Amino acid sequence: MKRLILALVFASAGCGAPTQAPPAQPPTVESAVAHTAPSGAYSLDKSHASLIVRLSHMGYSQFTARFESWDARLDLDTAAPENSSIHVTIDPRSIAADNPPPGFIDIMRGADFLDAARYPEISFRSTLLERTGPNTARVTGELTLHGVTRPVALDVRFNGGYAGMELDPNARVGFSARGVFNRSDFGMAYGIPPEGSNMGVGDAVEVIIETEFSGPAWAPAEGPTPTP
């Protein structure tokens, strides 16, 4: 047994930590997404768009809901993206969730939360776009919700685009966006847990957006006239 212990000790000594740390890997530099999308006015492709909201349910899960009726207009400047702008409108009555208990959606539409009868539209209008990387930007805008207007920021990623093709004869671009705001800032404090407790529905609302937009009509390049 002593011999076995000595052998293990010497083996461990021979496999000690390297005397020199491995060289640090250089950070990965992201390249701009290649695209052929032109500048111009774009409308939301509702078949390829989703607007999700999530908030804490007693700290046990992130309750997830979605708006099924919404629209957006994008004025895109591909040469100077910071000059682009977007305007979004949402129907609060269209809020939906998977497997909601009976009457739950009516509660979300009602006076304690969205109060959709009194405030029938939610809107977001961009006021500032700041580029944060080759394909990313921070978009700040005015969110009007529950009759209150406050600034909210979204982190946006440009996923690419093209000028059009035979099967899709309009320009197309795609974006992903995320942001967080407190619903209490918009007068919706019902159900927020008291300090030191999770018993309720969280104040912070996470917004997750996936979009595609359809833009200017595609003009196919004219080739040489074929020789008969």
**pLDDT tens digits for range 20-72:** 666 666 667 789 999 999 999 999 999 999 999 999 999 999 999 999 999 99
Distance CA 43, CA 168 (A): 14
Distance CA 65, CA 105 (A): 10
* pLDDT given for residue 139 in this prediction: 98
Looking at the DSSP bridge assignments, the partners of residue 129 are 139
Distance CA 66, CA 45 (A): 17
Distance CA 125, CA 89 (A): 9
Report whether pLDDT(12) > 80: no
Distance CA 192, CA 56 (A): 10
Any idea what DSSP says for residue 170? E
Q: Which amino acid is at 220?
A: P
Q: Which amino acid is at 190?
A: Y
Report whether pLDDT(76) > 90: yes
**pLDDT tens digits for range 107-153:** 999 999 999 999 999 999 999 999 999 999 999 999 999 999 999 99
Distance CA 88, CA 72 (A): 4
* pLDDT given for residue 10 in this prediction: 36
**pLDDT tens digits for range 88-99:** 999 999 999 999
**pLDDT tens digits for range 152-209:** 999 999 999 999 999 999 999 999 999 999 999 999 999 999 999 999 999 999 999 9
Distance CA 154, CA 84 (A): 14
CB neighbour list of residue 127: distance below 8 Å, 6 or more residues apart:
140, 141, 142, 151
